[in-house]
Amino acid sequence: MKQFNLETQSWEGEEEKKVLNSLEFLQSVYRDGQQPLTTRIRCAVESLPYETPKLMAVAHFNGNFEEQLDKPLKREVADH
């Protein structure tokens, strides 16, 4: 336990251990070369979705959904 020393005006004693969240724990395991490779790979795979954003398309439209779906079809018919 840490205690404040009045003579030195500083904290002394045990260092408080940092509590890791789940992602930090997985990262510490896959970065540890002493761990078996299969364990490191598993931790890296589990961490991946939280370290790298997933790319996806998002559609924005105004009005009626059915009308928005029909627009390309109407353009195709008008072009022919």
Identify the pLDDT of residue 5.
77
CA distance 32 to 23: 14
- For residue 46, pLDDT over 80 is answered with yes
The percent of residues in the chain predicted with pLDDT above 70, rounded, is 92
- Mean pLDDT is lowest, of 8-12, 21-25, 37-41, 42-46, for 8-12
* pLDDT per position as a tens digit, 57-71: 887 767 777 877 787
CA distance 20 to 9: 29
pLDDT band at 40 (very low <50, low <70, confident <90, very high): very high
CA distance readout (Å), 11 to 2, 19, 43, 59, 60: 6, 20, 36, 56, 56
